[in-house]
Structure 1
Amino acid sequence: MALEKPFISGHFSPVSDEITGHDLKIRGTLPPELNGRYFRNGHNPKPGITPSHWFRGAGMLHGIRLTDGRAEWYRNRWVRTPFLEGVPFTGTELEVSAAATNIIFHGGRYLALQEANLPYEVSAELDTLGVHDFGGKLTSAMTAHPKEDPETGELHFFSYSPFPPHLSYYVADASGDIVRSEIVEGAGPSLMHDFAITREHVVFIDSPVVFDHAEQSGIPYRWHDEVPLRIGVLPRAGGWTTWYEVPDQAALLHVANAYTDARGRIVLEAPRLDRSSWESSWKWWVGAPGYGTSPATGSTLHRWIIDPATGTVTTEAVNDLVTEFPSINDAHTGADYRYSYAIAFPGSGLSGYHTAKFDTRTGRQRLFAHGEGRMPGEAVFAPAEGGTAEDDGYLLTIVSDLEADASELLVLDAGDLSEVAAVELPRRVPAGIHGHWIPDAHQSA
């Protein structure tokens, strides 16, 4: 029987089992300095289960171990939570998580994340170890998009809720111990999926997509025209959050980066969705009548400049490509940077999927075309050994091929987007969400 929902069909069709493959075949030459693990998370409901929303599919992790120019293994594993075993999510049991959005490594732990729940710890081989609450210090949900400060090693994250207090902010030190927690005053009941940090600030996004009981898709949020986009700026040194209303109403799902410029202004860059773009994307996420061909419709890279001296926010379009899942060289998180990467979706003159690179200073862009029937995932940056430039490194992405019913881990040169190598995986990997490159040096630190 044909699958009816877009998020469990085509590139997103789930796999039905867990496998392990060793000594994987490589096309090209895998850089020998890439010693570590590429882990990626995504929604993969069990056979026979059709969730009401893309975000409600059970989490499955995919991992590839690279060492000394070899691809040692691939494995995929469900995150074994009560949700996977059929316990319904009610919003009150924080351990009943799909754990399907992201996977990070911090404080010696691999954590699978979903923003409405507590993290789940997994092993270096992707076996589920159990719920992680930071030694009892985390009693609320954790965002799936924490930010690690590359200078201090601190992990910054938040918890949001449709009920007061709507927003809480946390900092865990480099060893993984929570050292700061506070309620952020002035936030509303919005769907706050991502945020940003600068060296001096924490930047929160309060969008017009707010809690609404009328939404029956399983994720109770809807766009409301009367609610403006607001950006909250909290000093990392301590103090009150200042909320800036943005004249241009929009929603932001993912953030590329933020930094403080030489004039003391906060610069935030992210794909922007207007109401039409948001609602078209939502139709795909829930499989509603009239859904389009991809989960990202109309989102284009923009820049917001918040000026504390004048209390104003200006908005600038960076380009008109339909992009989502932005990423950067994480060594520049919270600092002035030049390059960002993203998936470019069909549209705006493009046919097929591309990996895109943007120069935020000059406006130039590069594109890598993946070809007919091939879809890449988020481009994850891995630094080159001895690199000095911001883009000295590689982009790692799992590319699925519908015609061949196969997938590969593609390695691109982050400088010119040329193909360096590809690791042939022992199965097709469903299109997923977020992941990270975790070098061996980080795991032993």
Structure 2
Amino acid sequence: MSLPYISDHYTPVVEESTATGLVVRGTLPPELDGRYLRNGHNPKPGVTPTHWFKGSGMVHGIRLRDGRAEWYRNRWVRTPLFEGKPAYDEHGKPDLAASVAGTHVIEHGGRLLALQEANLPFELDAELGTVGCFDFGGKLKTNMTAHPKEDPVTGELHFFASSPFPPHLIYYVASPQGDIVRQEVVEGVGTGLMHDFAITENFVVWADMSVTFTMAEKSGIPYRWNDSYTPRIGVMPRTGAPVVQWFEVEPGALLHVANAHEDASGRIVLDGPRFDRSAWEASWKWWAGLAGHPEVPAVGVVSHRWVFDLAAGSVKEELVDDLVVDFPTINETVLGRENRYSYAVAFPGAGLHHHGIVKYDNLTGARQVTPLSRDEIPGEAVFVPAAGGGNEDDGYLLTIVSNTARNTSEFHVLDATDLTRAPVAVVELPHRVPGGIHGSWVPASDLA
């Protein structure tokens, strides 16, 4: 049986490459001056990981400037684990530098960081070479989430370390320059899988839900659905003592958050794709390569909303849409504030017979889906504001789209105001890019 996460669209590339002067169809907007970067799991030749999330990280990058696509390059993140060193030190403790560094890639404080939630970040240079393990000048002595949040107003980076062993949760804040300025142990947290979280203008939102730590799981990622665990979502003030107000919610799992905000009544609104038990277990079969796995890595996960009334101590939950979606994104200039629009990757199911990028209008409830063919598979869509745009969706969505029939990949620049239109520009990539995880747009000025 071929493993789905190293087959077909997810077959690893076997070498690093650099291509310059890429062919562009259409017109690249002049304000796109920077780097599109996307991380993903790409095990070395001869290495077969036991789980999708165990494959070595490879970052793919495209440099745009003056309407040109100057280069494409792909580079493995050269961590100790990639180089074949053990994941544990001589005392049997996990080596925080022994990362696959394959989940996300961000910029903060002028540094590019490849992230994997069980380990320390790895710094990359502007051409994607590995600089080395980054621990915030010695202040970070734990792992770091792969989903930090940069507040668009303060410029601070909010992140956390989670662990199945006490302390289960540590909350961090780094300054805009990249210096850790706050570190707090958050009490009252259990062993639920915390992959992502949310911030609002005044609060932090934690999800401690139905997937929990267990050594019985043999895939190398020791988590399983747990019917006996009480799923909760907690709300904590961003300032003052780290005291969490917990709300019991319906059984579920939340891997990725779209956004959270405080509404006019002071309630906390949280949006994200939610797994129920059947969705989690079906998707896990794909991620772990188990018998009877589905054809795609996301099954049954749907857009969900939680509204928390802090004064009443109550929560309301609702289904937002029935499309199968994951990898939600927004215009991050409104991160933590009320957002009208959000975007996600749509998977076949619920009447949709192809992959696509979906746009949600939270005001009207409308949705748009890109008109791709059955052979085309897009990745996570990264939003970049347009120059002089006045509306929240005035901008572009950047994504890599692969054609499985042609064994090719392209970089698409979409008009975020109308996903039914043809791409604004398409950059032809020199080879197929495997399906990946998360990425970022990094303006040239941020790496000056």
Per-residue deviation at 1:246? Answer: 2.9
1:358 alignment partner AA: Y
Q: CA deviation at 1:442?
A: 2.7
Are 1:330 and 2:328 counterparts?
no
How many Å separate the matches in 2 of 1:178 and 1:119?
14
- Structure 1 residues 287-302: aligned runs within 5 Å: 287-302=289-304
- Give the aligned partner of residue 236 of structure 1: 238
- Give the letter aligned to residue 415 of structure 2: D
Whether the 8 Å CA contact 1:189–1:210 is kept in 2: the answer is yes
Asked if structure 1 preserves the Cα contact closer than 8 Å seen for 2:402 and 2:408, the reply is yes
Q: In the alignment, which residue of structure 2 is the partner of 1:151?
A: 153
Write the deviation string for residues 247-271 of structure 1: whole angstroms up to 9, x where unpaired: 4111100000000111111100000
- After superposition, give the CA deviation of every residue in 1:49-90 in whole Å (9 maximum; x if it has no partner): 110000000000000000010000000000000111222434
What CA deviation, in whole Å up to 9, does each residue of 1:177-222 have, x standing for no partner? 0000010111111110000000000111101111101111100011
**Correspondence 1:1-400 to 2 at 5 A:** 4-90=2-88, 92-400=94-402
Return the alpha-carbon distance in structure 2 between the equivalents of residues 381 and 311 of structure 1. 35
Per-residue CA distance 1:294-326 (angstroms, 9 max, x = gap): 111101001000111111111011110000000
Alpha-carbon offset, residue 405 of structure 1: 1.2
User: What secondary structure, in the 3-state scheme, does the structure 2 residue paired with 1:366 have?
Assistant: strand
User: 8 Å contact 1:7–1:54 — kept in the other structure?
Assistant: yes
Give the TM-score of the pair, scaled to structure 1: 0.98
Task: Give the distance between the partners of 1:226 and 1:103, measured in 2 at CA.
Answer: 35
8 Å contact from structure 1 (residues 186, 243) kept in 2: no
Q: For residues 446 and 249 of structure 2, what CA distance do their matches in structure 1 show?
A: 42
Matched, 1:420 2:424: yes
Contact 2:342 2:361 survives alignment (8 Å):
yes
Identity of aligned residues (%): 60
* 2:216 counterpart letter in structure 1: A
CA distance in 2, matches of 1:414, 1:60: 27
Deviations 1:2-59 (A, max 9, x none): x711000011000000000000001111111111100000000001111000000000
Name structure 2 gaps, 5 residues minimum.
none
Paired residues of 1:232 and 1:241 also in contact (CA < 8 A)? no
Q: Give the partner amino acid of 1:363.
A: G
Q: Indicate the SS of the match to 1:282.
A: helix
1:436 and 1:282 map into 2 onto residues whose CA distance is 26
- Letter of the 1:326 partner, please give it: P
Note the aligned Cα RMSD (angstroms): 1.0
The amino acid across from 2:94 in the alignment is: T
| Amino acid of the structure 2 residue aligned with 1:325 | F
Q: Tell me how far apart the structure 2 counterparts of residues 49 and 374 of structure 1 sit (CA, whole Å).
A: 27
Look up the equivalent residue of 2:431 and give its one-letter code: R
- Partner of 1:440 in structure 2? 444
Counterparts of 2:243 and 2:253, CA distance in 1: 20
- Deviation per CA, 1:109-147: give whole Å up to 9, x if none: 000000000000000100000000000000000000000
Q: SS of the residue aligned with 1:442?
A: helix
* Residues matched between the structures, number: 442
State whether residues 246 and 314 of structure 1, in contact with CA within 8 Å, keep that contact through their aligned partners in structure 2.
no
CA contact (8 A) 2:247 2:313 kept: no
User: Structure 2: which amino acid aligns with 1:205?
Assistant: A
- Paired with 1:387 and 1:72, the residues of 2 have a C-alpha distance of 26
SS of the residue 1:284 aligns to: helix
Counterpart contact for 2:263–2:338, Cα < 8 Å: yes
Provide the rounded CA distance (Å) in 1 between the counterparts of 2:381 and 2:86.
Answer: 33
Post-superposition Cα deviations, 1:139-161, rounded to whole Å, max 9, x if no partner, equal 00000000000001000000000
Letter in 2 for 1:295: P
The runs of at least 4 aligned residues of structure 1 exceeding 2 Å deviation read 87-91, 239-247, 441-444
Q: Kindly state the Cα deviation for residue 352 of structure 1 after the two structures are TM-superposed.
A: 1.1
Structure 1 residue aligned with 2:433, among 423, 429, 434?
Answer: 429
Question: Is the contact between residue 355 and residue 379 of structure 1 (CA under 8 Å) also seen in structure 2?
Answer: yes
User: Given that residues 271 and 303 in structure 2 are in contact (C-alpha distance below 8 angstroms), is that contact kept between their aligned partners in structure 1?
Assistant: yes
Q: Is the 8 A contact 1:230 1:243 kept in 2?
A: no
TM-score normalised by length of structure 2: 0.97
Q: Is the 8 A contact 2:16 2:75 kept in 1?
A: yes
The one-letter amino acid paired with 1:432 is G
Work out the CA distance in 2 between the residues paired with 1:267 and 1:82.
40
Q: Identify the range of structure 1 (243-252 vs 27-36) with the bigger mean alpha-carbon deviation.
A: 243-252
Instruction: Provide the C-alpha distance between the structure 2 equivalents of 1:313 and 1:141, rounded to a whole number of angstroms.
Output: 31
Mean alpha-carbon deviation: is it higher for 235-244 or for 400-409? 235-244
Paired letter, 2:417: G
The unaligned stretches of length 5 or more in structure 1 are none
Q: Which amino acid aligns with 2:132?
A: G
Whether the 8 Å CA contact 2:185–2:242 is kept in 1: the answer is no
Local SS of the residue matching 1:141: coil
CA distances 1:216-237 after superposition (whole Å, capped 9, x unpaired): 1100011110112211111012
Q: 3-state SS of the aligned residue for 2:353?
A: coil
